[in-house]
Chains A and B, each alone.
Chain A
Amino acid sequence: MQLHLPPSTEQLATLDARILVVSFAALPQLRHWVPYFERKYVTPHYTELNLPVPNDVFARTRFLADPALAAYHAYGLGRNSLLRVYGPLILWQYLRWFIQRKPVHRPHQDTLQRGGNFVVNRAGILTLAHTGRDQAERPAMADIIAALRR
């Protein structure tokens, strides 16, 4: 989500970069989720920053459905162990969200599927590959922006 908040949005515009968000949800489900994601997660962050949500907040983003996991597997993303997914950092994060009254919903999908972040430059070369030890570990925005410049 940091990719959809300032100052990342300005940096992405300067680089003329795009965001491809890949989900293993089916296309209809993903279509249904995108406006929910904006309403429940992106808009509140803009509100906290006292900024209006741009009409084109997803203008540089495409949301892609990969229910067959073809792209996930091409990028080495299989399934995690239960212990790794629900380790102490994740349980702490859920507790913080609960205390902050942030929405926490029981997922209806495979919660063990691994995710990841990658950056591909204009020449089609990987300049960042990050899967993280667990789902709480994401690359820093500065690292993603730096990789987009390479």
Chain B
Amino acid sequence: MGNQPVLRLPRVGQVAPNFSLHATDGTNVELSVYPKPVALVFLRHLA
């Protein structure tokens, strides 16, 4: 925990923080250019 960066939860009404990640289908997803409304689910660990 000691080395954990200072993190800030983004608030409703703010521009969503962007990210670019690899998907299991082999594509890359960049949120800021995603053309659809999105439900983002950050998993805790794989069940």
Contacts and interface: CB of A to CB of B under 8 A. Distances in A.
Nearest to B40: A118
Interface string B23-38: 1110101011011111
B25 A62 contact: yes
A6 interface: no
Interface residues of B, number: 39
A29 B43 CA distance: 14
A48 interface: no
A38 B11 CA distance: 32
A121 B37 contact: yes
A127 interface: yes
A43 interface: no
Contacts, number: 168
Contact of B40 (A15, A105, A119): A119
B43 A62 contact: no
Contact of A22 (B12, B35, B36, B41): B41
B20 to A, nearest CB: 9
Interface of B: 1, 4-5, 7-19, 21-25, 27, 29, 31-32, 34-47
